[in-house]
Structure 1
Amino acid sequence: MTLRRRPPGHRPVLHILLSIAPIFVLIVLGHLLRRGGIPSLEFWNLNDRLVYWVLMPALLFNKTSTIVLAPSVVGAYAVVILGAFAAATVFGLLASKAAGLPGPVASSILQGAARHNTFIALAVAERLYGTEGLAIAAVATSLLIPTTNVTMVTLMVSLVRGPDEKRILTSILRDLARNPLILSVGLGVAWNILGNGPIPVVHDVTRLLGGAALPVVLLCVGANIHIRAMAASALPLLLSSLGKLAVFPLAIVALAQVMDLSQTETLVALLFGAVPTASSAYTLARQLGGDAPLMAAIVTLQTGLAFVTLPLTMALAAHFLG
């Protein structure tokens, strides 16, 4: 008697929930550790820098430099990922305008609707779909990181419209050009295209560092959650969550069908629409004069909602695609 193995995307809700549960346990653990001062607040601040400058760049370079970049797949993925990102961005802008909300509030709604937590998406992709899923997620990351950062900065400056907006925009774009995540993706893709294969020692080191990246960064995500910020007004929270957890995922599924992506490719792409907004959105809101307390509330609410919505979204999509 032979047992038929289910395709990777065809999994019941409980199985997906149990697979994803360790990721959210790490997030909660990070929050509890920081609240308890373990090991110290200074540790968590320095840990963020370690993740940003060393661990995540190592992971992204290693994956983007070694995956198979078929032009047809990358092109189709660009249409799906960037098209859905554009849909969520337009939704955030139009919803804020229709509600008559001021620029700082609108900028936070925009980030809440269209940004994504890369780290959670990569971690879930590996948990659910293994090495193949993580490699596909790296392709999506290489497309989204530069596009998201440049788009968000440009639109936020135009919404807030401070007196030094031109100087701020120039400064932020200069910082983006030195962003270690963007640079690591660019170097990885460039080395991949050259086709010279793994670099002795370098790829071994980046593989080891990358292995530490996801668990450490999930602890940092939890450490940066602000429960007290949840006192923000209901409408901006609703609009941003609707854009991120409904518009973005639905656009990905629709475009994936048009571009004829495989089931696994579609589900990995869907992760970037179904995960909560990025924790770094709070920092950007502070830099550009957005509504930082509202942004902290949006990040916290969406991260909490994702405990339920992420496994449910993935299970529904797997059923629909199956």
Structure 2
Amino acid sequence: MSSQIAIFTQIFTVTGPVFAMLVIGMVLKRSRLIDDHFISVASVLSYKALMPTLLFFGILRADLNTALQPKLIGYFYLATVLSFGWAWLWARRTVPAENRGLYVQGAFRGNCGIVGLALAASQYGDYGISVGGVMAGLIIVLFNVLSVIVLGVYSTSFKADVRSVIKDLARNPLILSVLAGLLASSAGVTLPKWIMVSADYFSSMTLPLALVCVGGTLSLSAFIDSGRIALSSSLFKVLWTPALFTLVAVLLGFEGRDLGMLYLFLASPTAAVSYVMARASGSDGKLAANIIAISTAISVVTIMAGLYILQSFSFI
């Protein structure tokens, strides 16, 4: 019994601060200490400056052989593609055509850059930031391509444009920071200590601020208006997909930190950017927002339960 309590305490030490930031964001928004304008500006700051700085210097500090894990990234890509196809097949049987694109996007597109990376950093420190940063940066390419495909199929006002997709990816600050970090690390670039310390000060704001912004966008009314479609898509993202593909990863021989990283990224809730994609495609923004809110809330339980199971059986 004492060992189980120790495992639970360790897991809560990892996950508690991350989800506490989400709750703080909700409380601050509800008490009007922050508003939509603050969230919008802070989100842009996190996306275009803070997070790229965190990823670049995290990878620069790491051994390149440690940060770049082809087997880990390859399996994560494969699991994402298979979960995308699985969700789409299920949606064709159970979801009205006008909501299928949103359902599928909510079911496979995870919040890896914020929640996943925050959990990885909390669990594995510098290893989590460097390896997780590469995973988060590279998966964005696949997320964007698959989202454009499925939303384009079911939207009458939004059609996939290969040139615009490639252009957006080429300007994505997270992708650029990961590539720059990999190039700098491989070239053996060293920077003065004052720059490294300054970067630490600046990037230390990244995850708390980003998590507070995500929390500020969540709404309790989403649980009242959720509906079957939003709940089903959320469960797909934070329960069925991570359970299946983590089990397959165990059978394939993944273990320790790599298995833990895979689980945290697979179990991350639906990405907030899916709401932006939904609005751009002319789809139901309210449904997209509900999926984000519900998956984030449920992930508090599922991530802790998954980590508890994996640690109890000594897989991680």
Q: TM-score, normalised by structure 2?
A: 0.88
Shift of 1:277: 0.9
Cα displacement string for residues 230-264 of structure 1 (whole angstroms, at most 9, x for unaligned residues):
34453312331232123321344244335533411
Shift of 1:190: 2.2
Cα displacement string for residues 215-242 of structure 1 (whole angstroms, at most 9, x for unaligned residues):
1111111011133233445331233123
Shift of 1:203: 4.1
Partner Cα separation in structure 2 for residue 49 and residue 240 of structure 1: 27
More displaced 10-residue stretch of structure 1: 238-247 or 193-202? 193-202
Shift of 1:129: 2.3
Are 1:194 and 2:187 counterparts? yes
Aligned to 1:290: 283
Are 1:152 and 2:176 counterparts? no
Partner Cα separation in structure 1 for residue 125 and residue 234 of structure 2: 28
Partner Cα separation in structure 2 for residue 290 and residue 37 of structure 1: 29
Partner Cα separation in structure 1 for residue 223 and residue 165 of structure 2: 28
Aligned to 1:68: 63
Partner Cα separation in structure 1 for residue 61 and residue 238 of structure 2: 31
Are 1:249 and 2:227 counterparts? no
Of 98, 107, 114, the residue aligned with 1:113 is 107
Partner Cα separation in structure 2 for residue 275 and residue 200 of structure 1: 34
Aligned to 1:236: 229
Q: Closer, same or farther in 2 for the Cα pair 1:71/1:212, shift >3 Å?
A: closer
- Any unmatched runs of 5+ in structure 2? none
Partner Cα separation in structure 2 for residue 241 and residue 302 of structure 1: 5
Shift of 1:82: 0.9
More displaced 10-residue stretch of structure 1: 250-259 or 136-145? 250-259
Partner Cα separation in structure 1 for residue 195 and residue 142 of structure 2: 27
More displaced 10-residue stretch of structure 1: 71-80 or 301-310? 71-80
Partners of 1:232 and 1:293 within 8 A in 2: no
Q: Closer, same or farther in 2 for the Cα pair 1:78/1:199, shift >3 Å?
A: farther
CA RMSD after TM alignment? 2.6
Shift of 1:56: 0.8
Partners of 2:226 and 2:290 within 8 A in 1: no
Counterparts of residues 173-188 of structure 1 (less than 5 Å): 173-188=166-181
Partner Cα separation in structure 1 for residue 289 and residue 135 of structure 2: 25
| Structure ranking higher on relative contact order (CA contacts 8 Å, 6+ apart) | 1
Cα displacement string for residues 35-73 of structure 1 (whole angstroms, at most 9, x for unaligned residues):
222144422221111111111111111123332232896
Partners of 1:88 and 1:247 within 8 A in 2: no
Shift of 1:94: 0.8
Partners of 1:51 and 1:213 within 8 A in 2: yes
Tell me how many residue pairs correspond in the alignment.
Answer: 311
Shift of 1:304: 1.0
* Secondary structure class of the residue paired with 1:235: helix
Letter of the structure 2 residue corresponding to residue 53 of structure 1: K
Aligned to 2:309: 316
Q: TM-score, normalised by structure 1?
A: 0.87
Of 32, 37, 42, the residue aligned with 1:37 is 32
Cα displacement string for residues 254-313 of structure 1 (whole angstroms, at most 9, x for unaligned residues):
443355334111111110111211111111111112221111111111111122111111
Of 191, 195, 215, the residue aligned with 2:208 is 215
Partner Cα separation in structure 1 for residue 237 and residue 154 of structure 2: 19
Partners of 1:113 and 1:240 within 8 A in 2: yes
Are 1:306 and 2:299 counterparts? yes
* Secondary structure class of the residue paired with 1:270: helix
Partner Cα separation in structure 2 for residue 232 and residue 46 of structure 1: 28
Partner Cα separation in structure 2 for residue 155 and residue 46 of structure 1: 29
Partner Cα separation in structure 2 for residue 62 and residue 26 of structure 1: 23
More displaced 10-residue stretch of structure 1: 54-63 or 71-80? 71-80
Q: Closer, same or farther in 2 for the Cα pair 1:195/1:151, shift >3 Å?
A: farther
Aligned to 2:97: 102
Are 1:268 and 2:266 counterparts? no
Identity value in percent? 27
